[in-house]
Chains A and B, each alone.
Chain A
């Protein structure tokens, strides 16, 4: 790569929506989306059900093609899925291979990345360790709790060594305790790896707690209503962060937004 190419790819935002419209089956789903996501930024998206959050995520994933405008990843148009962009689905029960144990589910990503077999075992141990599943490598998904299965899905996504992590309501199906634990683990992981995160949630507090910015979408067709910067110190803390006046102010603003729809 030449010097100038490196320079532009450093300067370009990690993800950029540039005047994106999207129609599916003749129906306008997203309209006029403009959004720049910096490298290493944690972006949360909230909005009423059916407003197009998942669709936006799938545009970044390369599962949909913009009808107008462009979605860019590191300065290049996204025109199909790429291992550099990993997805964590909400329905972990459907997204894991039930016939592979935890280690082999992580191996799926390494195989797809063409990692030589001799290097895989150590890497698998490493990734399972990162999500606290080191002792469960031989367990099949059917033998794991929901929280463990979602950790496994995160481990598989990390094994892709992605620059962008797309998470679609990843903790929505988990109980409150497990959810908080996973929120903190997730923040730790992506901070350490410098991963950019696009995080869809229907939980206002989760969005504020995790995000650098919170994007609100309004429906029919999906448009960006507002973008709120979260001025809360990191590392976040489940007790103090949630009591911070800034947290409470944002919660009020976002609550009013959701109520309005």
Chain B
């Protein structure tokens, strides 16, 4: 029953996708928009597949973008989880760190770019810093929330068992925060992808972002569209992977 309806949903989304492709095809064919700006779908896909793994192909750019995004995201997540846990657990850390964090948090990551350039130059480190800065906040806030919302009864259980502070954090506070941390990391990953592209634009680092920028400047519409499609593929794959990992790790939650 559930299976069948899942399958129908899948068919439906494939249908919508096909319809969009077809609409795109019709508009490109009709010549309403100049070929210079709008490539038909077949040309865009050809731009992806032609020499994908070759020296000029989109494959290496895609790989560079994925790597950069993951490095920045993992860095942001690690720092966010550690710092968030400390803030969530320690009232003293909250007093000292909270004001600074409240000040930094509303800054849009793009406002950090000039600062990052001043420190790191137009380099790989600059891009990584911007990605990490942007995707750090959702993880941090989620970790603080998750760690500080432990059921007080569980702390009594820990006390009754004479568990050390370290054990209590490791076995109670962190697992309790896991669902929140995952939600934060999921948002952080989406932010990381956006900032990776922005960082590549600004920093001139090899990747899909730069590829798209170059293609548009050289009026290579198919290649530009190909790059955008690949970005979509990255975003979608990440969402699918992360929600599967999440479902496995959080299988203890009441099944809905």
- Number of cross-chain contacts by CB at 8 Å: 59
Looking at B62-70, B121-129, B247-255, the stretch in contact with chain A turns out to be: B247-255
Q: How large is the interface on A (under 10, 10 to 19, 20 to 34, 35 or more residues)?
A: 20 to 34
- The residue in B157, B159, B251 that gathers the most chain A C-beta atoms within 10 A of its C-beta is B157
**B162 and A100 within 8 A (CB):** no
List of B residues within 8 angstroms of A221 by Cβ: none
Residue of A nearest to B250 (CB): A99
**A81 and B254 within 8 A (CB):** no
- For residue B167, CB closer than 8 A to chain A, the reply is yes
Distance (whole angstroms) from the CB of A84 to the closest CB of chain B: 10
**A94 and B162 within 8 A (CB):** no
Looking at A38-46, A85-93, A170-178, A228-236, the stretch in contact with chain B turns out to be: A85-93
Per the 8 Å Cβ criterion, residues 205-221 of A in contact with B are: none
Residue of A nearest to B151 (CB): A94
Per the 8 Å Cβ criterion, residues 47-87 of A in contact with B are: 61, 63, 81-83, 85-87
When the two chains form the complex, which single residue of B154, B176, B252 contacts A140, counting CB atoms closer than 8 Å?
B252
What separation, in Å, do the CA atoms of A101 and B253 have in the docked complex?
11
- For residue B171, CB closer than 8 A to chain A, the reply is yes
Residue of A nearest to B172 (CB): A97
Per the 8 Å Cβ criterion, residues 148-189 of B in contact with A are: 151, 153-154, 156-157, 159-163, 167, 171-172, 175-176, 178
What separation, in Å, do the CA atoms of A65 and B157 have in the docked complex?
18
**B162 and A112 within 8 A (CB):** yes
**B162 and A83 within 8 A (CB):** yes
List of B residues within 8 angstroms of A86 by Cβ: 160
A97-B172, A100-B252 given as contacts; is B162 within 8 A of A82 (CB)?
yes
- For residue A8, CB closer than 8 A to chain B, the reply is no
**A99 and B175 within 8 A (CB):** yes
- The residue in B151, B161, B178 that gathers the most chain A C-beta atoms within 10 A of its C-beta is B161
| New contact pairs (7) apart from A99-B175, A112-B163, A140-B251, CB-CB < 8 Å | A81-B159, A81-B161, A86-B160, A89-B157, A108-B157, A112-B162, A140-B252
Interface residues of B (CB under 8 A from A): 151, 153-154, 156-157, 159-163, 167, 171-172, 175-176, 178, 251-255
Interface residues of A (CB under 8 A from B): 61, 63, 81-83, 85-87, 89, 91, 94-95, 97-101, 108-109, 111-113, 140-143, 160
A selection of 29 A-B contacts at a CB cut-off of 8 Å is A61-B160, A81-B160, A83-B160, A83-B161, A85-B160, A91-B153, A94-B151, A94-B154, A95-B153, A97-B154, A97-B171, A97-B175, A98-B252, A98-B253, A99-B252, A100-B252, A108-B161, A109-B161, A111-B171, A112-B161, A112-B162, A112-B163, A140-B251, A140-B252, A142-B252, A142-B253, A142-B254, A142-B255, A143-B255
